[in-house]
Structure 1
Amino acid sequence: MVHQYKMGDMNIVVDVYSGAIHVVDDIVYDVIESYEKLSSEDLLNKLSSKYDKEVIIESINEVKELIDKELLFTDDTYKEAIISFKKREPVVKALCLHIAHDCNLCCKYCFAGEGEYHGDRSLMTSEIGKKSIDFLLENSGNRRNLEVDFFGGEPLMNFEVVKDIVKYARSREKEYNKNFRFTITTNGILLDDDVMEFVNENMYNVVLSIDGRKEVNDRMRSSKNGKGSYDIIMPKFEKMAESRNQENYYVRGTFTHFNLDFSQDVLHLADKGFKQVSIEPVVAPADMPYALREEDIPYLCEQYDILAKEMIKRKEEGRDFNFFHFMIDLSQGPCVIKRLSGCGSGTEYLAVTPWGDLYPCHQFVGIDEFKLGTVDEGITNLERRKEFKECCVYSKDKCQNCWAKFYCSGGCTANAYQFHGNIYDTYEIGCELEKKRVECAIYMKAKEMME
């Protein structure tokens, strides 16, 4: 399987199963486009009106050489490997701790419903937090590096418990020969110097929630009295990013139907000095006014083009920054199992509610049928876990003929469930935007490597 596209001054060919990326001239591009459909003689006849015969023959031979080197039109050798991998007994490597099912903002697109997750407002106790750490230690097998995300709602509304959990986890690392890496996601309202000091000493990564330009952010991310959050959080986030030397953090926003020109929000954050930026598409029911629509896709794809070209220009000027969705490694990248099976939700990655219930990830919390167990009893819903265990690009019909499946790993199971009631399906708008992001990322990386 190959994917071909043109972007900027490049003709790009992606060989899906080898992972090879080829930047080719016009004639080789045209030869590849028809290579599997036509014989060499027919290719000569088809292309003779555009190119000289000798050049066509030379190009056909170049394509044959790439095929012989298993860099083009390669066979799928991964299906059996992933099926075998999926039969293994999973171990847990990461937990998303819902420290607070409560929030001090009232974001209009929040899937957690102001932090309540279809239930009551609640804060995790230190006891439940410590039991969560014990569960992770006892179910992580031989994995040494373990990840714990402090999430909400707004986790800083329960900051003393965050500190208790970090201290407890550190106290048990040596006994289990483990290393904890902590992350916290915050809207910034309660961020102050003391919190920053603790975060910088203890958090491997920090996610700072902001949507971009003031008018865009404040339209969707306001307090319960309707007052926007931008003016409160922007100075704090700028200070936080600088205090971490512009590393091991990112500002993370959401774009909606109200700001389809989201590239301007990305660039606004970059202009504010942030070097690590992520602005992601909202996922919302179609009847919501802010939801993305199928007719928005062409315009959104243009925005990714605009952003890619501007990022190349800024890098040449020494003003570069990282955009999360354009970060790609063409030389190695994630191991193939990671690329086939995704984030590991429901098996390697679990969410923990304030009262200790286990769910496949934060987006499933509060949906009773997806409760997997508790931190006291462990995983008890084995049939549901089995569904997640077997979920991969080869178990999703819509992924079979998609060239981008090894980049998106089949997409988000929660999004698939939200739109189709089935984790083995896919969210179509998300798929189209993901394919465009990957095209832009490959183009940028190929251009960088060639230069």
Structure 2
Amino acid sequence: MVHQYKNNGYNIVLDVNSGMVHVVDDLIYDIIELYNQADRNEKHLAAEQAKEAIIHKITEKYSKEEYTDLFAEYITEGNTASDAVSAAVKEAVSDIEELINDGALFTEDIYENYISEFKSRSTVVKALCLHIAHDCNLACKYCFAEEGEYQGRRALMSYEVGKQALDFLIANSGNRKNLEVDFFGGEPLMNFEVVKKLVEYGREQEKLHNKKFRFTLTTNGILLNDEVMEFANKEMANVVLSIDGRKEINDLMRPSRNGKGSYDIILPKFEKVAESRNQNNYYVRGTFTHNNLDFSEDVIHLAELGFKQISVEPVVALPEESYAIKEEDVEKVYEEYDKLAAYILQKKKAGEGFNFFHFMIDLSGGPCVAKRLSGCGSGTEYMAVTPWGDLYPCHQFVGEEKYLMGNVFEGVKTPELQEEFKCCNVYSKEKCKDCFAKFYCSGGCAANSYKFHGSIHDAYDIGCQLERKRVECALMIKAAEADL
């Protein structure tokens, strides 16, 4: 499978199965497009007639006077412009054949059999999202956690439940040494004393069980103070700071319980956190909605404030919500991603670059094959824990009783649910099979699929469209960086 597109002056050809990215001129781009339209045998030049047809069609197009200057180097004494075009086209076809023979273009999918092997592996848990507080001091309008309540009651996790959660993680992690725990909510700093005690307990257990905990914290910033910052800088591998961008946008969607905005309270604290962490190992993380489809301005606002690690993501909401991203908004969002990509390149050229989470892509390493095929590991390697110890596939499933998997005291009681999530991958989803972005999004979010289609084996359609655009922008940025 090959995906072609043009962005910001670059002609980009992605060989989906190998992950190879080619930046090509117009001639090669057009020839590959004809190969792409051919059937499988023709792509691999089993039919010489097909190759000749491609050469003839391209030669005819590029023999027009408007293209003459492109082939000046091929024009010699006794060699006409038509001869020059023919020579250039044949050379381009030869280059494409070489890429095909080298396994860099029109490669076969070799991963479908791998997923069967992956599904037969024994399951180990490597990460927990601890809902340390089902309560919040903000009233964010788009919150899937319903102001921290998660379709249930307000509650704070006790030390005993949290301690048992860490014990559960250690006991179910097999030989895996590195384990991850995210302190989440609601607002986790409403239960900060328990956070501190659990980190202390985790550090003790590391030595006893040859494990290493990577703790992270997600906070809205209202309760951030010097004590919290000092603790986070010592113990938290990453800190996620929630802010939506410009003051008017943030305060519209992220008010306090009394209706007042949060921007003026949290911004100076977030700036201090970012600097105290040397602009690394944190994110300012926002959500854009139908109310700010010009969200690139919010990313730019945060970048101009000096933040170097930024994530602003589309809201996931059912169409009846006034703030939901709707189908008619998609083209505008595309334009904003293109605008943002151009701005990021401008900043990089000026030596003022920053990371935008959704444009970060690793072409040389990146996720392992299992991750590329199956995604985040929700319901198998990763689970969420409620304040009273119930286990769910992830934080977005909390409160959905059909997805209650067990508890940290008794373990997983629904192995059939765990198996269902284990079988959820890009090959179990019909919409993923012919999608060029499938090895980058790994099939998308299971919770979003369930929210919109009632099944984890489907895909959230608008989310898919936006993901494909983000991948295109990310690859274009990589191509442009090679020219910097």
Q: The TM-score by the shorter chain falls in which range?
A: over 0.9
Q: Deviations over 1:277-329 (max 9, x none)?
A: 00000000100000000010111011000000011011111111100001111
Code of the aligned partner of 1:195: V
1:42-121 equivalences in 2 (<5 Å): 42-51=53-62, 52-121=85-154
Q: Which residue of 1 aligns with 2:465?
A: 432
Equivalent position of 1:246 in the other structure = 279
Q: By how many angstroms is 1:44 displaced?
A: 1.9
The CA deviation at 1:266 is 0.3
Equivalent of 2:155 in 105, 114, 122: 122
Q: Does 1:205 align with 2:238?
A: yes
The answer to whether 1:307 aligns with 2:318 is: no
Q: Computing the radius of gyration over CA atoms, which structure comes out larger, 1 or 2? A: 2
Query: What do residues 360-389 of structure 1 show as CA deviations (whole Å, max 9, x unaligned)?
Result: 000000100001110011111111111101
Residue in 2 that maps onto 1:379: 412
Q: Structure 2 residue aligned with 1:419, among 448, 452, 464?
A: 452
Structural mapping, 1:17-32, within 5 Å: 17-32=17-32
Q: Distance in 1 between matches of 2:115 and 2:19?
A: 17
Partner letter of residue 364 of structure 1?
F
Q: CA deviation at 1:193?
A: 0.5
Give the corresponding residue for 1:12.
12
1:291-440 to 2 correspondences below 5 Å: 291-440=324-473
The worse-fitting range, judged by mean Cα deviation, of 30-39 and 157-166 is 30-39
In structure 2, distance between residues paired with 1:248 and 1:301: 28
Shift of 1:434: 0.4
Secondary structure of the equivalent of 1:393? Answer: coil
In 1, Cα distance between the equivalents of 2:51 and 2:233? 62
Deviation at 1:332, TM superposition (A): 1.6
1:42-83 Cα distance to aligned partner (Å, 9 max, x none): 112211222211111111111110000000000000000112
Greater shift, 380-389 or 250-259, is seen at 380-389
1:148 aligns with 2:175: no
AA paired with 1:123? Answer: L
Instruction: Report the equivalent of 2:52.
Output: 41
2:215 equivalent among 182, 191, 196: 182
**One-letter amino acid of the structure 1 residue matched with residue 335 of structure 2:** E
Among 197, 205, 220, the alignment partner of 1:172 is: 205
Shift of 1:8: 1.3
3-state SS of 2:482 partner: helix
TM-score by length of 2: 0.92
SS of the aligned residue for 1:303 comes to helix
Report the TM-score, using the length of structure 1 for normalisation.
0.99
**Hey, what's the Cα distance between the residues in 1 that align with 2:173 and 2:234?**
25
Aligned residue in 2 for 1:445? 478
1:276 aligned to 306, 309, 323, which one?
Answer: 309
Give the secondary-structure state (helix, strand or coil) at the position aligned to 2:13: strand
What is the identity, as a one-letter code, of the residue corresponding to 1:433?
L
Structure 2: give runs of 5+ residues left out of the alignment.
Answer: 43-49, 63-84
Q: Secondary structure at the match of 1:273?
A: coil
Q: Which residue identity does 1:193 align to in structure 2?
A: D
Cα distance in 1, alignment partners of residues 225 and 452 from structure 2:
39
CA distance in 1, matches of 2:383, 2:175: 18
Helix, strand or coil at the partner of 2:144: coil
Listed one character per residue, the Cα deviations across residues 201-239 of structure 1 (whole Å, up to 9, x for unaligned) are 110000000000000000000011110000000000000
Q: What root-mean-square deviation, in Å, do the aligned CA atoms of Structure 1 and Structure 2 show? A: 0.8
1:220 corresponds in structure 2 to 253
User: Secondary structure at 2:230's aligned position in 1?
Assistant: helix
Per-residue CA shift, 1:313-369, capped at 9, x if unaligned? 111111111000011111121111111110000000000000000000000001000
Q: Secondary structure at the match of 2:363?
A: coil
What is the SS of the residue equivalent to 1:172? helix
- Per-residue CA deviations over 1:175-216 (Å, capped at 9, x if unaligned) read 110000100000000000111111111100000000000000
Q: Return the offset for 1:449.
A: 2.1
- The separation in 2 between residues aligned to 1:447 and 1:211, in whole angstroms, is 28
Amino acid at match of 1:105: L
Secondary structure class of the residue paired with 1:411: coil
Q: Shift in Å at residue 450 of structure 1?
A: 3.8
Structure 2 distance, partners of 1:160, 1:6, is: 53
- Tell me the distance in 2 between the aligned counterparts of 1:62 and 1:427: 39
* 3-state SS of paired residue (1:292): coil
What residue identity is the alignment partner of 1:442? L
The one-letter amino acid of 2:60's match is: S
Partner SS, residue 330 of structure 1: coil
The answer for the alignment partner of 1:2 in structure 2 is 2
Q: CA deviation at 1:260?
A: 0.1
- Where 1:49 maps in the other structure, the secondary structure is helix
Measure the CA separation in 2 of the matches of 1:270 and 1:321.
7
> Bigger CA drift: 135-144 or 38-47?
38-47
Paired residue secondary structure (2:60): coil
Could you list the runs of 4 or more consecutive aligned residues of structure 1 that deviate by over 4 angstroms after TM superposition? none
SS in 2 for 1:167: helix
Structure-1 separation of matches of 2:58 and 2:307: 49
Q: Distance in 1 between matches of 2:332 and 2:27?
A: 30
